[in-house]
Amino acid sequence: MSSTPSIEARPFAVRNVLAVDADPEVRSLLVSVLEPGAWAIHHAMDNVAALGMVRARNFDLIVTSEKTSGREDVELLRKIRSVRPHTRLIILTNENVPSDVVTAMKEHAFSYFSKPFSLESLSVMIRNAVEGPCWDDGIEVISATPQWIRLQARCDLKTADRLLQFLNEIGDLPDAERHKVAMASREMLLNAIEHGGRLDPREYVEIEYVRARHMLTCRILDPGTGFTLDEIPHAAIANPDDDPIRHMRLREAQGMRPGGYGVLLAQQLVDELIYGQDGNEVLLVKYLDTDGAKSA
């Protein structure tokens, strides 16, 4: 009489990642991020070879080559999705082309990095991609051009990281200004997801990003009921002048994570931060000169 093997005796399911023409740094990064024994790292010479390998087997994650364009990799993504609809793909590319980033968002690429990019940021994105329980995009593009984007994002922190990376790639700003806008947008988006959406993945925030010649705006609308500043004592912006750390004690007493500086920080990074009537809608404004630098 045969016995049913114990759970421990059952073979471990190894997951597969495909790296396309990866340079040594990306190869090393994959080895360091992916758990040994749990992941098998495969390599393809180019996009044509990658597509052939995808037709032969399923890959949980694909990372494209830095040597190809975003347009080429989006075309690869379309072909892959016709064979393996739920494959997560991170695009690495040799140049920043905002229209390609927009197309990648529409085609549900998992993320997008153009050279030069931070290996640390790529490492975080790879972890986000492989730790998700199943493929689920979380970002829905309503309408988009490189100058005007409207979309919805699911109320979870990993989706926020993905969205901010896409927007960072689209913004054609000098590094210093890009960093300020990215930080301010991140703080306001996390506030919307955490406090307005209560980290409920069934809820979505709406984001509208507009890049005009002299101005960049980012509008964020959350699904919450809204607030006024005197109703959020856990935020640093509501501290009285004679008690600048009051919010820290209140957050600790309520079991909230450290923080509460989001609104205050964002106000210092952009030129205007405007709340709507109900407090669940915020507009960030950054003024620029014709070359994309901040005006004097």
Cα–Cα distance for residue pair 98/105, rounded to 1 Å: 11
* Enclosing domain of residue 30: 1-136
| 142 shares a domain with 127 | no
Number of domains the chain is built from: 2
Q: How far is CA 38 from CA 8, 14, 32, 59, 271, in A?
A: 15, 5, 12, 13, 48
| 243 shares a domain with 267 | yes
Residue pair 259/236 in contact by the 8 Å Cβ criterion: no
The domain boundary, picked from 105, 136, 167, lies at 136
| 20 shares a domain with 107 | yes
| 150 shares a domain with 124 | no
Residue-level pLDDT at 229: 57
70-83 and 47-56 helices cross at what angle (nearest 10)? Answer: 10
CATH number of the CATH domain containing 193: 3.30.565.10
The domain boundary, picked from 94, 121, 136, lies at 136
Cα–Cα distance for residue pair 210/283, rounded to 1 Å: 11
Residue-level pLDDT at 17: 96
| 148 shares a domain with 132 | no
What is the sign of the dihedral through the CA atoms of 232, 235, 237 and 239? positive
pTM > 0.75: yes
142 alpha-carbon distance from chain centroid: 17
Instruction: For 75-102, give one letter per residue: b (16+ CB within 10 A) or e.
Output: bbbebbeeebeebbbbbbbeebbbebbb
Residue-wise pLDDT tens digits, 65-83: 999 999 999 999 999 999 9
| 99 shares a domain with 226 | no
| 198 shares a domain with 95 | no
Residue pair 92/117 in contact by the 8 Å Cβ criterion: yes
- Which of the residues in the chain have pLDDT under 70? 1-12, 133-136, 227-262, 290-296
Could you tell me which of 84, 28, 78, 94 has the C-alpha nearest to residue 61? 84
Residue-wise pLDDT tens digits, 160-178: 999 999 999 987 787 888 8
